[in-house]
Amino acid sequence: MSDFSLIWCHGSLGRPWGTKSTALAEVAAELGLTMEAPDFRETEDPDKRVAKLVDLLEKAGRPAILAGSSMGGYVAAAAAAKFDVPGLFLLAPAFYFPGYAVHVFSDLPAAVTVVHGWVDDVVPVDNSIRFARTHRADLHVFDDGHRLQGSTHRLRTLFAGFLQGLITAS
């Protein structure tokens, strides 16, 4: 698994090392992976964030597992079409929003997990259902809101299984 990098993409109003990213980084560390969390706060433009991520991936020169929340989920999925990505782990991803360049995703990896909250008041859960149905992604919907604050333990468990599946497959 050392041939992979693991990158977290924070949301529009988020920061690189928030509650979710820190919890997921701990899970990754238990499996021998180090998670990076670039700072995208210099722009609110989701597609400029995609370009920055693609640039980072190209400079790294190795496959990257991408994880992201909200706008960061969109950024991760949009970048996956432009770079070798073995897996995507997306939390309440901001798909199908006006002004975002990508609405039809292609070249996604086989390993895609989407987690959303039933009571998300920022990104409609129907967007994740549509994405998961279209791409046959694993979908987990919790009785939680956009930030998935009440689901940290479940997120950690899902992320551990997701990463373990990629480690086993490699």
Q: Which residues contact 103 (CB under 8 A, 6 or more apart)?
A: 95, 96
| 8 A C-beta contact, residue 105 and residue 77 | yes
Ramachandran angles phi, psi of 98, nearest 5°: -60, 140
Question: What pLDDT digit, counting tens, does each position of 16-40 carry?
Answer: 999 999 999 999 999 999 999 999 9
For position 111, what pLDDT does the model report?
97
Full-model pTM: 0.96
Q: Which domain holds residue 92?
A: 5-169
Pick the range with the lowest mean pLDDT from 19-28, 81-90, 91-100, 125-134. 81-90
Residue 71's CATH number: 3.40.50.1820
| Helices 19-30 and 152-169: angle between axes, nearest 10 degrees | 40
Strands 87-91 and 64-69 come out as parallel
Total tally of structural domains belonging to the chain: 1
Q: 117: part of which helix (H) or strand (E)? A: strand 111-117
